[in-house]
Structure formats: structure tokens, C-alpha cells
Structure 1
Amino acid sequence: MTLRLILTRHAKSDWDNPLDSDHMRPLNPRGQRAAPKIGRWLARNGHLPQQALVSDAARTRQTWERLSAEFPAPVPARFEAALYHAGPDMMMQILQSASADTVIMIGHNPGIAVFARMLVDSPPTHPGFTRYPTCSTVIVEFDAPDWGSVRYGSGRVAAFIVPRDLDQAD
């Protein structure tokens, strides 16, 4: 069986309000534009999740709202406090609790960039993969019967995109 993970870093967030805690920072205008672009790209390319695992921070929730609005049908989402600035092992633990064949996980750097690198057998040649800029999205496929069987280094990169790539295509 093939399982598919869509791993997305939150879109660009706003640092303008000094009263906002890091957890409460919203998306800035650039992030508000980038998230729907990624959602349209996912839908156009048939990468539609059946379940979402999303950090409970404001910027990840807003990324999910704007991204998923581009899908043809609603996708159930689970907002996870443990994904807020999670490291790779926590991200793996949460992923292994997923129940759908295609899952999107939305989180934060530096953990998400490290997690992406650790999951795949061979990284894509895209120069953005190492930095994993805001709203970067990788599609990773696994030959596994369930998420509990997924291990580091066992995934194949099916696609990787950053919003700037979509800006250049417009």
C-alpha cells in the first residue's frame, strides 16, 4: 500500500505586533497569498489529503484554512499542540497516529525541515529543500501498510514546491 504525506511549513507570518506571542502570530499579506496558491497546486496535481494534522499556532491554523479552502471538499483536521515547534521525533509520533492514506501535516521550522530530510531516501535537487522556506511543501510517498510502519529514510519524494515557484509560473 502507498501512503502519502504532504508536509507543509506554515506560510509567512507577521512580526508587526510586539504584543503577539510567537504562538499567536498571524499570517502577513504575503503568507495570506501563498497558502491558497499551494492549496490550488495540491488540488490541481491530485495531492488531496484525507486528514490534516496541524500545529495549533495561529499561523499554522490560518495556513490550513487558506490552503484547504482550495480543495473540492472539506478535510477533517486535528490541531495538535505538540506540533508547535516540534522536533522530528514528535512529528513522527504524531504522523504514526494518522488514520488516512493521504495526510497533510503543517508545522514549523526548524523541525519540519529536519523531519523532511530524515523521512526521505534521497532529497530533491530543489535548492529550497534544505532551507524549507515558508509554505514549502513536499509530497513523500511510503510503501507501508500503515503509518505506524513508516521509518526514517523510507520515503520517496514525489514533488517539492515553494510559493516562489508558483509565482514564476503565473
Structure 2
Amino acid sequence: MKTLLLLRHAKSSWTDPSRSDHDRELNRRGEKAAPVMGRYLHEQGLVPDLIWCSTAERTVQTLTLLGRDFASASDVIYNEDLYMATEAVLLESLGHTHDEARCVMMIGHNPGLADFAARLFGEGDGEALLEMNRKYPTCGLCQYEFDVDHWADVRFEAGRLIRFVKVKDLQGIGAPPT
């Protein structure tokens, strides 16, 4: 059994038009949201063994702000191919994950991350799927399980959706107001 966590980066800033999209940083809201999601993941026992992270500044900052458990307990692979990746690229990257990792997180961008999450659905929480398909907001997270031994065996329409969580749903554990 493998667990996959798909996390969209936290809210980024558009205040400096001279910055390239790749170099945009988080805004204050994003800086507050990422630690909230990190605490939630920690409380749920969802600290991954391995993290795939886009090299964009906002994804790297999101990872850093999730909390020290994520940076110290997880192997991290920073991959430029994940920047604005399609669902096919995300699936290919996931397939290169070492099989000792039981729980993997991917931190990326829309629309590719949302498209990837939707295409993985085979069964599971239908309400979460509807919510996820309505909007996959910044710092949104979905959790899938796959009945496979090898990450290379993960296929579209083969995942069991366990949950979809938005930071605004976590108001009770210190989420910033939306």
C-alpha cells in the first residue's frame, strides 16, 4: 500500500511585476497557511518519507513553512520538471520514486496538480472529489492510497481518494482568516 499526498503551494505574491513567475514568493496569507497545513499533516500522522518539490520559490517556501518534521524526516527531491508540470509529467516523476518510500508528497502548481489529482481517482470519497474538482485552492491537499508495491505501478483512475483538505477548513487549528 502506498500513500500519495498532493499539495498545491501556498498563496503567492503578485506585488513585484519584475519577478519571473518561477521566482514569486509567498504572500502573508501563504506564509500563515503553510504552517497550519503542516500542523494538520503532523497531527494526522502524514509526514511523508519522500517529497517531490517544484523548484519554484513559492513551492520551496511552502515546504519550508510546513515545519521542521518535513525538512528533517523526509527525503526531498527538488525537480525543475515539476514547475507547471502536466499530469503526465507528475505521474512519470512519481514512477521514479524509490519503493522504500511508503508515503510520498508532491508539492506543485495548478492546473497540472489539480488535473493529476482528478485523473488518479478510481474510488473513494466522492464528496471530496466533487470539492476538489470545484476548486483546488492554494495550500489545498488531497490524499490517495494505491494498492501497489511499486510507485511505477501507479496508474490513472487507480487511486482511492481518502481526503481533500483546504486550509479554510482547518480554522479550528489556527488557520488564517480567508
Scaled by the length of structure 2, the TM-score of the pair is: 0.90
Q: Which deviates more from structure 2 when the two are superposed, residues 79-88 or residues 152-161?
A: 152-161
Deviating beyond 6 angstroms after TM superposition, the runs of 4 or more aligned structure 1 residues are none
**What CA distance in whole angstroms lies between the structure 1 residues aligned with 2:149 and 2:75?**
21
User: Which residue number in structure 2 is paired with residue 134 of structure 1?
Assistant: 138
Q: Match of 2:144, SS?
A: strand
Whether the 8 Å contact between 2:64 and 2:71 is mirrored in structure 1 is no
Alpha-carbon distance in 1 for matches of 2:42, 2:77: 20
Deviation at 1:128, TM superposition (A): 3.8
Cross-structure match for 2:168: 164
After superposition, residues 38-57 of structure 1 pair within 5 angstroms as 38-57=37-56
Contact 1:9–1:137 under 8 Å retained in 2: yes
Give the match for residue 24 of structure 2: 25
Alpha carbons 2:47, 2:69 under 8 Å: kept: no
Mapped contact 1:128–1:162 kept (Cα < 8 A): no
Give the conservation status (yes or no) of the 8 Å contact 1:87–1:112.
yes
What's the counterpart of residue 34 of structure 1? 33
Q: 1:148 aligns with which of 138, 146, 152?
A: 152
Identity among equivalent positions (%) equals 38
SS of the residue corresponding to residue 31 of structure 1 reads: helix
Q: Return the letter of the residue paired with 1:93.
A: E
Secondary structure class of the residue paired with 2:107: strand
> Can you give the 5+ residue segments of structure 2 that lack an aligned partner in the other structure?
none
Q: Deviations over 1:83-124 (max 9, x none)?
A: 000000000000111111110000000000000000111464
Query: 1:38–1:5: structure 2 CA closer, same or farther, 3 Å change rule?
Result: same
- Per the normalisation by structure 1, the TM-score is 0.94
1:137 and 1:83 map into 2 onto residues whose CA distance is 16
Aligned partner of residue 119 in structure 2, secondary structure: helix
- Whether contact under 8 Å (2:63, 2:70) holds in the other structure is no
Q: Secondary structure at the match of 1:121?
A: strand
Gapped runs of 5+ residues in structure 1? none
In the alignment of these two chains, the number of paired residues is 169
Secondary structure of 1:54's partner? strand
- Residue of structure 2 equivalent to 1:9: 8
2:119 alignment counterpart: 118
**Segment drifting more, 40-49 vs 125-134:** 125-134
- Counterpart Cα distance in 2 of 1:72 and 1:109: 23
Supply the AA of the counterpart residue of 1:129: M
The residue aligned with 1:65 is 64
When structure 1 is superposed on structure 2, of 146-155 and 117-126 the one drifting more is 117-126
Instruction: From the superposition, tell whether residues 68 and 78 of structure 1 become closer, same or farther in structure 2 (CA, over 3 Å).
Output: farther
